[in-house]
Structure 1
Amino acid sequence: MRFHPFMRVLGGCSSVVALAIAGGARAQEAADAAAETDIVTDIVVTGTSIRGIAPVGAPVTALGQDEIQAQPANTTTELLRQVPSVANLGASDQYFGSANNSNANITGGNGINLRGLGTEATLTLLNGRRLPPAGTQGQFFDPSIIPTAAIGRMEVMADGGSAIYGSDAVGGVVNILLRKNFSGVELYAKQGFNGDVRQFIAGGVVGHKWDSGSAMVAFEHNERSPLKASARSLYTDDLRAYGGTDQRLFNSNPGNIQVAGRRYGIPAGQNGTGLTAADFVGVPVNRMSAYEGVDAIPGQNRDSVIGSIEQELTPGISIWGQGYFAHRELLRTVGASTSNLTVTNANPFFVDPSGTGASSVTVNYNFYDDYGPRQQDAWQRSWQIAGGIDAELGGGWNFSAYGSYGRNSEERSQQDINTAQLLAALRDTNPLTAFNPFGDGSYTNATTLANIRAWSAIGARYKLADFGAKVDGTLFDLPGGGVKLAVGAEYQDHSLLSYFRNTTAGANNSTVVYTPSTTSRTVKSGYAELFIPIFGRDNARPGLEELSLSAALRHDDYSDFGSTTNPKFAARYSPFEGFSLRGTFGKSFRAPTLSDIDPNTLTISVNDFTDPSSSTGVTRTLWVRGGSDTLGPEKATTWSLGFDYQPVFASGLSLSMTYFNVEYTNRIETPGNTNLALTPAIESQLGALVTRNPSAALVQGFLSNPLYTGVPENPANILAFVDGRKVNIGRLETQGIEGVVSYLFDTGLGRFNLGVSGTYNFDFKRTTSPNAAPVDVLDTINNPLEFRARGNVGWDNGGFSANAFVNYAAGYLNNSVTPVQHVEAYTTVDLSLRYKITDDAGFGLKNVTFSADIQNLFDRDPPVVLNGTLAFDPQVASIMGRFATIGIRANW
């Protein structure tokens, strides 16, 4: 039986509980904290440029500092990923595959992906300002580099926001707001552990408030050991035990010899010397796991510091400054280098197992016994400084201006193989120095191995300068309240340096080859927003408690692809106290990343594509892949309808529901990037991306490009051109509902809180080729799930509080295998315990809180998923297992 989506979300309370965003039992503590620190807790600033009002129509999920401390999460990103509208697809420190652009995440960062539209379609802000993005493609910001102690409030608006913020806010906006007017010292330490991983976190915040200003500095240190793949049975590429096939590598040690279309296993237990064809009789083909000695989850060390200061110069005029710096190091053990070695009969260890007298053979070889698994060393440094001024202009008008400059630099290096030295060693006729790939183990001279060993590195540096100014205030008064207007302008300067460094292509392993590429752009923007309260507190009447309208418009002029203008309209209507209806309609966009438009990332090759129409069965084809400087912006139309209800007859009960609809067009895709055939079906699908009998000028233009490194070709022999470059060709349509229910109530046994929230997607229709029909990929691997939810039940009495959280991810289809596999739903439970000493604990302590958290309390294994060379899906379920954390927090 299939339940109506509305009932699925609400009815989930009985079987699936979800996140009640404000741990209800903490409400009074939040109010007390606000009184102590002058934090205004009921003003939402995300989603509007007009100060003092909440965004009209758009739902905003908020977590304050007390709610943050009540959650069993150790980083800012973990907290945000508990919001059901955040899909765990894309940048993650547990997944580095090619799906959802995760392979561009070289330092183990964690991005936020609202609605499953991509981390690059979610805008992350710090106090409303843009931040320098991470990843080699500059496509996400990792909120975990902001210390949790520095956060006063986090807000998530899962609604298009380009009319307010410009590019990237297609899925929505995450805004991290720093603590304000904090006075005192707060220190904390946590120790996390299970049988295989250790994590230590320590940090604090120091602040001081004086009559005309305040200052705050927060810091955090986080270190986590790696999780070995050998500690988890599902982290395997031999899938036979789970109903799949053996995906282990043929590149092994001992290796395999390919000759005359057949693969022969090299015998075990010998040194590769004096082998004959007879030695291979009855020897099975060798296989070796790619995960031999590797890490399932890398180890990380991160240090972050952030500070802010605000000073009133004169009444009504104040200045402020902020800055952060974060450094992260990642150490990850990955699989050993592999290669298909061409070995001629000049090699002193040469053997032809076929006995046909071949002059050369191919050896599927693994360098594990020569060098062991490879170590990936990665680092990231991210920082930003910002400052601004706020001034009251009189008559209810205000002026604000800011400027910021920041950088994100990162690099990942690893051991590699120098191809020139390897080729020379394979051709060496001296048995004392030649490379020997025929043994079981490593039987090559140590000096030769040292000459072959090389390294390679990939890195990026993103620079962002951002300047803005805004005037906002009341135009005039209506019976329902003041009509407010905000007008502003912004200027951005972006620059991305991408590079490769390696010793793999040099004449020896000390010759460093450096290949850089730089792209840049500037953006000039102007925007306006209008708020109209038709009915409000002063003129409310039966059936018209409130009626508010808003309209926003932003124009962005890009130096590289032109301009775009995006409007947004919203309304909120309350017929009676405690109940309101709301809706939004708007246009949003995402500018292509600087990596997308970088033409220096081209890969140009000439290949024989399978072609049934050719007399030879193949056609010589020019194939081009990579970035394109002709890309334009991705565009989206978003709208939503919803309600909020806090019944006056049931104090503490809150219900909220939102229907959303996104039509996302002009998406950047690479439809011609994976096809090596010119079949009628593929040609029909790719359309104009395939050119038969291309002109000599087109062919010669690419063959003359310095990025072409192949052998010279006669343009007349090239009879087809496949354009695999990035192109604005994709389309995505999705709709669904999100619901939140929470209930807070007092009893003689203490205060209880219950909550459920979830996201139910109706569809996720996508097309990635010009002539392909949209396909609904909802509930399939590497795509959003139909239903996700999280909830809590909690109790608070005196200084003790306990909260249990249940996380639910619906089952889905793994259509990457045949037959299609049904993946089971996945449910885990988290537990959070707190004991707070509120009286003087000695040594001048105001209070001390002891904490104990357990994630995945019942140690649930991820469901089995035949996922390429894994037996689980790291984008849906963590392989970490049960993880406990104990901690202490103290205030002076």
Structure 2
Amino acid sequence: MNTEGVKLGKLLLVGSSLAAIAAPSFAQSTTQTPVIEDSAATPQGEGDQIPDTVGPPPATTTGADIVVLGSRVRGTAPVGSTVTALGRRDIEGSAAPTLDRLIKEIPQNFDLGVSENSRGQAGGNGNITYGNTVNLRGIGPYATLVLIDGHRVVNNGRSTDPSVLPTLGVERVEVIADGASAIYGSDAVAGVVNVVARRSLNGVEAFARGGFATQGGFREYAMGVAGGKTFDRGQIMLAYEHVKRTNLSGDDRDFFVSDQRNFGGGDYRITRCSPGNIRVGATTFAIPQSGVTQATAGSLVAGTLNRCNELNNQDLSPEQTYNSVNGTGTFDVNDWVSVFVDGFYSKRSFYRNGAYPTAALTVPSSNAFYVAPPGVTPPLCAASVGAPAGSRCYTIDYEFTEVPPGDTSGFAKSWQVTPGIRVKLPHDWQFEALAGYGKTKDYSDAHTGINNGPLNAALRSNNPATAFDPYGGGRTSQAVLDGIANAIFLAPTNGKLKAYEARLNGSLFSLPGGDVKLATGYERQDFDVALGIARGAPTTPLTFRKFGRTVDSFYGELFIPIFGATNAIPGFDRLEVNAAIRRDKYSDVGRTTNPKIGVNWAPIDGVKFRGNWGTSFRAPTIPEIYGNSNNLFPQNYQNPAGGAPLPGVALSGQNLELKPEEARTWSIGADVTPIRALRLGATFWDVKYENQVIANLSNLAILNIEDQYAGTSIILRGAEAQARFNELVAAGVVVNGASPATVNLFVDGRSQNLGVSKTRGIDFTADYDLDLGADSLRFSASGTYLTSYKVAVTPSGPLLDQRNLIFRPLKFKARGSVVWDHGPMSTRLLVTHVGGYTNDAIKPNQKVGSFTPVDLAVTWRLGGPDSYNLVGANVALGVEVRNLFDQKPPYVNIAPSGNGSGGYDASAANPIGRMVAASIRTKF
């Protein structure tokens, strides 16, 4: 590894060193060597600066004590924990176009829930704008806290998408995968991600990149520019980035089909087709492809069925467009006062092609196009149908191919400005304060949903000009179709954050092992959320429900060096203890106190053992408490017995009884450097999570664990399901889409404190540098192995092992890379491995194979040492092939889902296939 040390006072190494081409190695930093990484590819000595936890470091860092993620104390590394750091070289070398996708490559991160292509797990139903967040350990998408420059930022009331910052404006991303509520408060159950804005850029950088999939037309473009200036008393930086990713249609992937018998799977074709199927009691009649009229009623044959694919036209991932800007500034007013500021603006727009709507239509004999099937007499219509007296009714399973599909569009927009001040005090003490203000708006809309009022009126009508023809004859007037397919769905979420932080930090007294240091402070958050909804007829007004939350927090953290460089003895080269405690008071969910203690013990140089224990919590989000909406959603559920999905209805809404989630976390580990070029690390961790909030609104595979919900009202069948549905409709709950004729399956999808989970696992890292004289080779590997994942979905239910099951955390994930530097050329080979698992959504269970794509990239550097000069600038030209061997996702025997997956598992594999890309990057 090319490590060019630059001494910066007590600066601690948390970054990994890779050449500009190198993919993220995700090296865990645990050493206390006071160095910083640098490379020839970094202009004018720019390196990976380490941020202060509250505010950024001074522009001139010489002699400064810097705070590292995982600790509030200046000049110390996180005790008992490790930091995974991705520096500028990692960011530039990655093929990820945005930060959220870069972080997804870390093995500890699981793509479950809040993801653009997998929304079927916990938290997914609230992801109305198809964003991404971080889900460390697979514990939950809201259990990882995302910070920017060490402070909280405005979000949609649920989670923070790291892609709000452009990659060019980021110095480093730090990840600590340990419970950290004692230091950072709510949401830090599984860990913390800190996105550090750039403050050392001195010059201009620009890049452009374009790529395409070799199958299916998927394309990706990115471009950006950043400029910065450092001077004696400060710095300023501004970065802009534009990213465009086209949609990936399920129609372009052969595995996303309902009839999977060619893959050895089930036949998941549905009967809501075009043309459809008439049902009179238990007797079915397939409507011919040419349609049917009363004159041709003899073509209807009893016992026949049309079957068809579900979700034709649906995107596996939506079209996404990112525009993001961020800036930083630092100014030393004098030798003891500095001011700083960071800010960002981001707008991510999406468009998702949806499938054609389907429904089970109740058709009365009063319909102008009514056809009486031969040999049967339909029953009299129920009074709720509203048909003329004496009318008879049957059901037609139908797909509305004559109306627009259910496309959705929208955006996620946010901005925040956070200024602060740093004051040096006598006796090595320091005071810091900042104030942040930001706003966010998530917006999703659809304008072509099925409007039940006009549909039912058209089904009852005896006038051909105003009636709906469900018999395949195409006789419905355009005016009627326009009235049927005009239901709107508008779902904005507006958020506003005012955040204040103040802290004292310094040395209390000295011990033989070093200075005992203290960090203590106060934080306040004022957060307002407005949940909007308009669902129904085009004239439905957009209404907002407004909620507020305030949080007052006090914390203290103590660092005690028992043995250090000045008093080391055999067996105790270094021994450090860190203790932290935090008290949080919420205006709506109560108070909580969380402690944490960590220990580092280095018996000899090059060997360190570490461990920590603490408690953490997560306050339920405002949307979880009050619900995004109060609606009934007809949707199809995976049938564990096989065959077509089962139609059901799910309820969304508020739950005012939600309690905070609580967790107990501990870990032990070791870091070994047997030789200078080799670094090894391993961590065993354990998380016990109680009162977990589970929402099943988007969980379309819930029936495979139906027995675990026995004794609750979460899943209802038959008459109980119909009665609950009728009760809710009578109470004014709106049905989203076509109202079902009958309801045999009901799922309460509201957020509930149901879960208890116990998760254990091992993280490992290994890095080796091989010096070949003029050339160099760098080997890197990291991974996560889950040893246990036990869950009880109800408070009194049994703990059941759910490790390595579909849509749950998988047993093994790993990445390995080899980077060869040869003069101006760099070549990287990257292998990502996701282990196989069991698909228990189908019976008998299916064994799913592993997914191991290989990426290859080559970079040619111009303008640096051993290269050619080009107009006085440093230029890097790159070519890369992701998924070099075009490995397809492992086949998974599940039906296509509106929330992701179908023939493959969107949470464990990438459906894009091989991608080829070229890039140019310049610095001057």
- What RMSD, in angstroms, separates the aligned Cα atoms of the two structures? 3.1
Distance change >3 Å, CA 535–CA 468, structure 1 → 2? same
Asked if 2 retains the 8 angstrom alpha-carbon contact of 1:72 and 1:830, the reply is no
Matches within 5 A, 1:640-651: 640-647=667-674, 650-651=675-676
In structure 2, how many angstroms separate the alpha carbons of the residues matched to 1:31 and 1:469?
38
Counterpart of 1:420? 453
Alignment of 1:82-101 (within 5 A): 82-96=105-119, 98-101=120-123
Q: Which of residues 575, 579, 582 is equivalent to 1:554?
A: 582
Q: Percent identity?
A: 36
- The answer to whether residue 251 in structure 2 is matched with residue 230 in structure 1 is yes
The code of the aligned residue for 1:876 comes to A
1:662-701, aligned counterparts within 5 Å?
662-669=687-694, 685-686=711-712
Tell me how far 1:867 sits from its aligned partner.
2.3
Q: Which amino acid aligns with 1:131?
A: V
Counterpart position of 1:322: 342
Partner in structure 2 of residue 881 of structure 1: 913
1:817 pairs, out of 842, 850, 854, with: 842
Aligned to 1:492: 525
Partner of 2:720 in structure 1?
none
CA distance in 2, matches of 1:279, 1:152: 70
Distance 1:418 1:445 in 2: 16
1:117-132 aligned at under 5 Å gives the runs 117-132=139-154
Aligned to 1:544: 572
Q: Helix, strand or coil for the counterpart of 2:623? A: coil
1:133 alignment partner, one of 139, 155, 178: 155
C-alpha change, 1:674 and 1:254, in structure 2 (3 Å) is closer
CA–CA distance in structure 1, aligned partners of residues 429 and 512 of structure 2: 20
Change (3 A) 1:723 1:70: closer
CA distance in structure 2 between the partners assigned to 1:722 and 1:239 by the alignment:
27
Tell me whether 1:760 sits opposite 2:788 in the alignment: no
Paired amino acid for 2:420: G
**Counterpart position of 2:177:** 158
Distance, in Å, in 2 between the alignment partners of 1:203 and 1:832 is 21
1:139 shift after superposition: 2.5
- CA-to-aligned-CA distance 1:335-375 (integer Å, 9 cap, x gap): 0122222221111210122533331221112111x124232
Distance 1:642 1:471, change over 3 A: same
Partner of 2:239: 218
CA contact (8 A) 1:752 1:793 kept: yes
Tell me which residue corresponds to 1:396. 428
Counterpart secondary structure, 1:596: helix
* Cα deviation 1:500-542 (Å, max 9, x = unaligned): 213x3x4xxx412434322221111000000001111122222
Partner residue, 1:854: 881
Secondary structure at the aligned position of 2:798 is classed as coil
Alignment partner of 2:604 out of 576, 593, 597: 576
Note the C-alpha offset of 1:704. 13
Q: Find the partner of 1:269 among 280, 287, 290.
A: 290
* Residues 226-256 of structure 1 deviation map (CA, whole Å, 9 limit, x = unaligned): 1222221111122222233222232111111
Matched, 1:59 2:94: no
Matched, 1:435 2:447: no
Name the structure 1 match of 2:376: 356
How many residues are aligned here?
A: 824
Pairing of 1:306-345 with structure 2 (within 5 A): 306-345=326-365
**Which residue is 1:620 aligned to?**
none
1:391 Cα deviation from its structure 2 partner: 0.9
3-state DSSP class of the match of 1:47?
coil
Question: Secondary structure of 2:407's match?
Answer: strand
Of 192, 197, 216 in structure 2, the residue corresponding to residue 173 of structure 1 is 192
Equivalents in 2 of 1:652, 1:175: separation in Å? 28
Matched, 1:109 2:136: no
1:635 aligns to 2:662 (yes or no)? yes
Which whole-Å CA distance do the structure 2 matches of 1:676 and 1:575 have between them? 50
Is contact 1:242-1:864 (8 Å) kept? Answer: yes
* Contact preservation (8 Å) 1:127, 1:177: yes
Q: Any conservation in 1 of the 2:199–2:329 contact (CA below 8 Å)?
A: no
1:402-453 deviations in Å (ceiling 9; x for gaps):
111222211211221222111222222221332111015x321112112222
What amino acid is the match of 1:221?
H
Deviation at 1:33, TM superposition (A): 3.8
CA offsets 1:731-758 (integer angstroms, 9 cap, x no match): 1001111110100121135111112111
Q: Per the alignment, in what secondary structure is the counterpart of residue 539 of structure 1?
A: coil
Instruction: Quote how far apart the aligned CAs of 1:122 are.
Output: 0.6
CA separation in 1, counterparts of 2:854 and 2:751? 42
Structure 1 position 590 matched with structure 2 position 594: no
| 843-852 vs 405-414, greater mean Cα deviation | 843-852
Paired amino acid for 1:521: R
Distance 2:583 2:478 in 1: 63
The answer as to whether partners of 2:790 and 2:803 remain within 8 angstroms in 1 is yes
Paired residues of 2:492 and 2:532 also in contact (CA < 8 A): yes
Counterpart contact for 2:212–2:218, Cα < 8 Å:
yes
Partner of 1:142: 161
The 10-residue stretch of structure 1 (212-221 or 590-599) with the greater mean CA deviation from structure 2 = 590-599
| Partner secondary structure for residue 597 of structure 1 | helix
Could you tell me how far apart the structure 2 residues matched to 1:653 and 1:675 are? 45
Kept in 1: contact 2:271–2:306 (CA 8 A): yes
Flag the 1:471–1:377 CA change in 2: closer, same or farther, 3 A.
Answer: same
Deviations 1:74-122 (CA, angstroms, capped at 9, x unpaired): 22122212211111212222223x3232232122211110011111001
Distance apart, 1:44 and its partner CA: 6.1
Query: Deviation of residue 685 (structure 1)?
Result: 4.1
Match of 2:794 among 750, 753, 769: 769
Three-state SS of the structure 2 residue aligned to 1:575 is strand
Is contact 1:765–1:776 with CA below 8 Å preserved after alignment?
A: yes
Aligned partner of 1:198 in structure 2 is 219
Q: Structure 2: which 5+ residue stretches go unaligned?
A: 1-21, 30-34, 52-65, 379-391, 634-649, 717-723, 736-745, 897-901
Letter in 1 for 2:590: G
Q: Is the 8 A contact 2:24 2:93 kept in 1?
A: no
CA distance in 2, matches of 1:687, 1:286: 34
Whether the aligned pair in 1 keeps the contact of 2:490 and 2:542 (CA below 8 Å) is no
Q: Residues 457 and 28 from structure 1, CA distance in 2 versus in 1: closer, same or farther, beyond 3 angstroms?
A: closer
Is residue 293 of structure 2 the alignment partner of residue 243 of structure 1? no
Instruction: Pick from 679, 683, 692 the counterpart of residue 658 of structure 1.
Output: 683
**Could you list the per-position Cα deviations for residues 618-675 of structure 1 after superposition, in whole angstroms to 9, with x for gaps in the alignment?**
xxxxx9864322222111000000111123xx22110011010111112123699999
Q: Give the direction of change, closer, same or farther, for the CA distance of 1:158–1:320 in structure 2 (3 Å limit).
A: same
Aligned to 1:872: 904
Residues 60, 800 of structure 1: alpha-carbon distance in 2 compared, 3 angstrom cutoff: same
8 Å CA contact retained: 2:205, 2:923: yes
Note if 1:37 corresponds to 2:70.
no
Asked whether the 8 Å contact 2:207–2:922 carries over to 1, the reply is yes
2:229 match: 208
Q: Equivalent of 1:297, from 298, 311, 317?
A: 317
* Distance in 1 separating the partners of 2:732 and 2:275: 37
1:287 aligned counterpart, secondary structure: coil
SS across alignment from 1:595: helix
Whether the aligned pair in 2 keeps the contact of 1:561 and 1:632 (CA below 8 Å) is yes
Q: Give the stretch that moved more between structures: 282-291 or 422-431.
A: 282-291
Amino acid in structure 1 at the alignment position of 2:288: P
